[in-house]
Amino acid sequence: MHHDLPPSRPPSLPSPAARWSLLIIALCCVLLLVTLKQSGLMLVVPILAVTFLVIRHRPDESEARALRSSIQLSLEDITDTLDQFLLFRDSPEAEHLADRTLHRPALLDPDCPDPAIQKFHFEFHGCRSYIHRLHARLAADLSVPELEALLATTDARALELRESWLAARGAAHRLGTDYKRY
């Protein structure tokens, strides 16, 4: 269960706000050429050169790539924990079968009255939904502040899920084999 993030938007595709800016610059350049002719051309060339350099050298792009990479690492932390539960739940291996039937049967019951187990099931389902929303969100051209907020949320979810998983495993082990489903 591996969840790669969509690649960031290539620098050649400006955001909608940048497209409007480029359109305005282009209209101004055409207006300069029409009204000033030769002198307008001397003004348009540096304007277009500077515009090209600004578009090609987006200082936020390297920071955005770094943030997307950090989000990918947090996403991997989430999927690692989700995969651990799925392995516990579904694996036919003797070790996992014994763990879920002899040591921690309560961990498979989402209706278990233990608060730690209930919280884990809530976090588990919430994180699975979050992964799908995260992919959709990252498909957009996000600003650095938006990526920073997304990273903070993803980090918090990864930590909360991991802590919840460990607490639920401990609670299910304490309940032991005498656990009765209600």
pLDDT in tens, the chain (182 residues): 545 554 444 444 556 667 788 889 999 989 999 999 888 889 999 998 888 887 776 667 788 889 999 999 999 999 999 999 999 999 999 999 999 999 999 999 988 999 999 999 999 999 999 999 999 999 988 888 999 999 999 999 999 999 999 999 999 999 988 877 44
Give whole-number Cα distances, 45 to 19, 48, 59, 60, 163, in Å.
19, 5, 23, 26, 59
Task: Enumerate the H helices of the chain as residue ranges.
Answer: 16-36, 38-56, 59-90, 94-98, 115-138, 144-175
**Under DSSP, is residue 104 helix (H, G, I), strand (E, B) or coil?**
coil
Tokens of 5: 């993030």
Domain range list for the chain = 60-178
Length of the chain: 182
Let me know if 79 is exposed, middle or buried by CB neighbors in 10 A (0-12, 13-18, 19+).
buried
Furthest C-alpha separation in the chain: 91
Contact assessment for residue 68 and residue 147, using Cβ atoms and an 8 Å cutoff: yes
Query: Smallest Cα–Cα separation from 46: which of 35, 34, 54?
Result: 54
